[in-house]
């Protein structure tokens, strides 16, 4: 029980004792024969009731008023004792008795008021928090007076602040000395406005540990308020960890951006530079400290001073910042200096418009100097390839007209002479003419093969899906007589590829014919198959059991008109044509061989069409 309540109860006890003692003294006078007390007793009974009633109902003022009223009733007996037969001393005792009645009434009134106030406070606490919530809350809860003294506290208060056996605390005990005045100002606001929220203060525990708290307070009754304080120690520790973590991530991002070859500038919503990486310093020979924190106009002017055409760059950036529009792929150049090279830079500026951040921008500066040089080199190579293609076409024309026409004319003359002489020519002359005829016929075949080789070109736009199993069946049928007494095995699960059917058929036909033509075994064995490849191509092969090829000749055989054995039939253009066709499809072809064991020709065909960036005549 509070000290004030105990003092008031003691006062009531004193008043009751005074009243009882005075009454006993009055009745004692009767036994002593001091005279008849009946008139005095009647007056006391008549005045005691209103005195006590006014004291109870009206408090201290009522007690004083009632006592004065009682004295007024007793005044005639005190002033003119001759009017009654009661002795004057008894009238004085009666006055004291009325005073005791007034005090006793005021004491009872006070006790009743405190009881009612406690009941109301309890009801308000129950209404605001509830007893279970009050005790089991995770926050500190105090019932405080307007002076800041605590009259009631919950379990968390005792656990976090100490003084576990005490229910009440003085303001100087639990509030940090430096925060007491602020705490009093807060309480003043609470009792004036009824509530405060989000006040940050410091409490002090019994062991002098500082507890940072966030306070919400609410007036509940008269000069009584309930204060709820959240211990922010753990929250502040978490916030500190979060700040440290954010700093680490920020440093990681900044360091990561600094390692990029791409220049990056970050702008905030006020058009000021938040960050610029080292690439920007290198590109424009500016220190980062001269950029970070400065507005867009000033930064743009500093960068423009390092460019070939500063006005164009300034107009571009000012318009972009003013309108909030992006800049896509603009080319700017820095001039060459004594200590720095000329650079070609691609500039992009993009507004940041996300759900979490709006109003900023991010600028990119990509050094594309090497790319531009490569583009220039490619243009030169393209021009050279165009020149080669032009000469190839001229060569085709020469071969088709200037070389083939004389050969055909000479061959025609020889055939005419041999036909018209009808055996009248000397034997040697006829033999020479027939030999010349054979050479001219071979020359015509070579010219046809050469034209065929030069005219092979593939347009990927005309590619179609080719079923290799069906294609090999057609090749087998076309080679019918050639494959007699030959063991040809074709894999049953050949894939489907993209290409030109006729040209791919020519590759398989040439390879199979060569495997038969140059085979030295009694039973030629030829295998056509494929293997899965990791890339975007299928790996196909044609394998035979022929004599094999020397390692030094494995590349030579793909040259135009190259023959390992001049005595064999053919022009030696078949493998060169195969290579040309495979490369036009975007693949590669090569041979692997072991002398005496046979040869395997491997080649790749892409799974999807490959569009080459140069004219096919340039191969």
Q: Mean pLDDT in the chain?
A: 78
600 DSSP β-pair partners: 543, 592
Backbone φ, ψ for residue 367 (5° rounding)? -80, 105
Burial track 518-531 (b if 16+ CB lie within 10 A, e otherwise): bbeeeebbbbbbbe
Secondary structure element (H or E) that encloses residue 376, with its range: helix 369-397
Burial class (CB in 10 A: 0-12, 13-18, 19+), 596: exposed
Q: According to the model, what pLDDT value does residue 232 have?
A: 86
Summarize pLDDT for 135-159 with one digit per residue, the tens: 888 899 999 998 999 988 999 999 9
Q: What is the CB neighbour count within 10 angstroms for residue 332?
A: 22
Structure tokens at 131: 């007893």
Q: What percent of the chain has pLDDT over 90?
A: 29
Token pair belonging to 605? 């065909």
Contacts with 584 (C-beta within 8 Å, 6 or more apart), sequence order: 456, 457, 458, 503, 616, 619
Cβ atoms of 323 and 228 within 8 Å: the answer is no
**Do the domains 131-231 and 262-367 sit in the same CATH topology, yes or no?**
yes
Alpha-carbon span 180 to 171, nearest angstrom: 8
Structural class in CATH, domain 381-455: mainly alpha
The domain limits of the chain are: 3-125, 131-231, 262-367, 381-455, 460-618
Cα 131 from chain centre: 46
The CATH class of the 131-231 domain is alpha beta
Q: What angle do CA 452, 453, 459 make, to 5 degrees?
A: 90
The DSSP call for residue 295 is B
Strand extents, DSSP E, 31-90: none
Name the more confident of 37 and 374. 374
- Using DSSP, state whether 466 is helix, strand or coil: strand
Position 51 scores a pLDDT of 52
Written as six digits, the tokens of 194 are 């009824």
- Comparing 70-74, 94-98, 478-482, the range with the smallest average pLDDT is 70-74
SS3 sequence of 96-117: HHHHHHHHHHHHHHHHHHHHHH
**Band of pLDDT at residue 98, cut at 50, 70 and 90:** low
Question: Please, are residues 279 and 262 in contact by the beta-carbon 8 Å criterion?
Answer: yes
Q: What is the 3-state secondary structure (H, E, C) of 6-34?
A: HHHHHHHHHHHHHHHHHHHHHHHHHHHCC
Q: Which residues contact 281 (CB under 8 A, 6 or more apart)?
A: 287, 288
What is the predicted pLDDT for the residue at 529?
94
d(CA 23, CA 327): 105
d(CA 362, CA 164): 59
The angle, 0 to 180 degrees and rounded to 10, between the axes of the packed helices 501-517 and 574-584 is 150
pLDDT at residue number 382? 86
**56 has pLDDT over 60:** no
C-alpha distances (whole Å) from 299 to each of 222, 280, 330 are 62, 12, 18
Cβ–Cβ under 8 Å, residues 378 and 349: no
**H-helix segments, 518-594:** 574-584
Distance, CA of 402 to CA of 407 (rounded, Å): 9
Q: Kindly give, in sequence order, each residue whose CB lies less than 8 Å from that of residue 189, ignoring residues fewer than 6 positions away.
A: 196
Which of 244-248, 410-414, 506-510 is the most confident on average?
Answer: 506-510
The burial class, CB within 10 Å (0-12 / 13-18 / 19+), for 267 is buried
* DSSP-assigned letter for residue 333: E
CB neighbour list of residue 37: distance below 8 Å, 6 or more residues apart: 26, 27, 29, 30, 86, 90
C-alpha to C-alpha distance for 37 and 93, rounded to whole angstroms: 12
Instruction: Please answer whether residues 344 and 333 qualify as being in contact, where contact means their C-beta atoms are separated by less than 8 angstroms.
Output: yes
pLDDT tens, residue by residue, 173-189: 999 999 999 999 999 99
User: Would you say residue 303 has pLDDT above 80?
Assistant: yes
Quick one: how many helices (H) and strands (E) in the chain? 17, 17
pLDDT single digits (tens) 425-447: 788 877 888 778 777 776 776 66
Cα–Cα distance for residue pair 186/218, rounded to 1 Å: 11
Q: What is the pLDDT of residue 617?
A: 34
Nearest to 140 by CA among 214, 234, 199: 214
Segment 113-138 shows an average pLDDT of 65
598 torsion bin: left (phi>0), alpha (psi -120 to 50), beta (else): left
Query: Right CATH number for 262-367 from 3.40.50.720, 3.30.450.20, 2.60.34.10, 3.40.50.300?
Result: 3.30.450.20
What is the CATH code of the structural domain delimited by 460-618?
3.30.565.10
Transcribe 115-170 into DSSP letters. Answer: HHHHHHHHHHHHHHT-HHHHHH-SSEEEEEETT--EEEE-HHHHHHH--TT-S-B-
List the single range of 132-146, 281-295, 400-414 with lowest mean pLDDT. 400-414
Nearest to 278 by CA among 290, 293, 262: 262
């Amino acid at each position: 029980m509070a000290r004030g309540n105990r003092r008031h109860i003691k006062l009531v006890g004193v008043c009751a004792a005074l009243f009882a003692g005075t009454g006993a003294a009055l009745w004692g006078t009767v036994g002593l024969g001091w005279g008849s007390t009946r008139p005095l007793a009647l007056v006391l009974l008549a005045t005691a009731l209103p005195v006590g009633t006014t004291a109870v109902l009206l408090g201290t003022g009522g007690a004083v008023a009632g006592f004065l009223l009682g004295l007024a009733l007793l005044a005639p007996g005190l002033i003119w004792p001759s009017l009654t037969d009661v002795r004057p001393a008894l009238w004085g005792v009666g006055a004291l008795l009325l005073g005791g009645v007034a005090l006793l009434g005021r004491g009872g009134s006070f006790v009743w008021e405190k009881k009612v106030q406690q009941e109301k406070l309890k009801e308000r606490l129950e209404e605001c928090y509830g007893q279970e919530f009050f005790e089991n809350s995770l926050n500190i809860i105090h019932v405080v007076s307007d002076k800041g003294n605590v009259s009631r506290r919950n379990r968390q208060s005792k656990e976090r602040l100490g003084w576990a056996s005490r229910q009440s605390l003085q303001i100087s005990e639990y509030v940090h000395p430096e925060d007491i005045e602020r705490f009093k100002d807060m309480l003043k606001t609470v009792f004036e406005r009824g509530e405060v929220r989000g006040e940050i203060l410091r409490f002090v525990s019994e062991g002098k540990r500082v507890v940072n708290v966030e306070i919400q307070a609410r007036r509940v009754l008269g000069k009584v308020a309930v204060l709820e304080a959240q211990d922010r120690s753990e929250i502040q520790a978490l916030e500190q960890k979060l700040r440290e973590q954010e700093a680490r991530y920020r440093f990681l991002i900044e360091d990561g951006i600094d390692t990029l070859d791409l220049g990056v500038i970050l702008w905030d919503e006020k058009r000021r530079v938040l960050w610029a990486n080292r690439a920007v310093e290198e590109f424009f020979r500016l220190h980062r400290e001269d950029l970070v924190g400065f507005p867009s106009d000033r930064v743009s002017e500093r960068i423009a001073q390092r460019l070939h055409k500063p006005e164009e760059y300034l107009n571009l950036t000012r318009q972009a910042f003013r309108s909030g529009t992006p800049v896509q792929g603009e080319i700017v150049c820095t001039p060459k200096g004594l200590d720095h090279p000329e650079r070609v830079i691609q500039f992009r500026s993009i507004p940041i418009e996300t759900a979490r951040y709006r109003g900023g921008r991010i600028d990119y500066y990509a050094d594309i100097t090497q790319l531009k040089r490569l583009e220039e080199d490619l243009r030169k190579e393209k021009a050279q390839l165009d020149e080669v293609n032009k000469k190839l076409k001229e060569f085709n024309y020469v071969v088709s007209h200037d070389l083939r026409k004389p050969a055909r004319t000479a061959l025609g003359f020889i055939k005419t002479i041999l036909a018209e002489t009808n055996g009248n020519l000397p034997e040697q002359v006829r033999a020479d003419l027939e030999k010349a005829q054979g050479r001219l016929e071979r020359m015509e075949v070579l010219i046809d093969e050469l034209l065929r080789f030069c005219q092979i070109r593939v347009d990927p736009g005309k590619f179609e899906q080719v079923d290799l199993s069906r294609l090999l069946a057609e090749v087998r049928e076309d080679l019918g007589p050639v494959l007699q007494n030959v063991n040809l095995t074709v894999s049953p699960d050949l894939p489907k590829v993209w290409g030109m059917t006729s040209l791919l058929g020519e590759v398989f036909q040439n390879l199979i014919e060569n495997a038969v033509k140059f085979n030295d075994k009694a039973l030629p064995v030829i295998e056509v198959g494929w293997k899965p490849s990791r890339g975007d191509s299928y790996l196909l092969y044609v394998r035979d059991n022929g004599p094999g090829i020397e390692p030094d000749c494995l590349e030579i055989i793909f040259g135009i008109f190259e023959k390992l054995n001049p005595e064999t039939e053919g022009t030696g253009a078949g493998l060169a044509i195969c290579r040309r066709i495979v490369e036009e499809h975007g693949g590669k072809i090569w041979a692997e061989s072991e002398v005496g064991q046979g040869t395997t020709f491997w080649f790749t065909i892409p799974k999807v069409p490959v569009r080459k960036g140069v004219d096919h005549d340039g191969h």
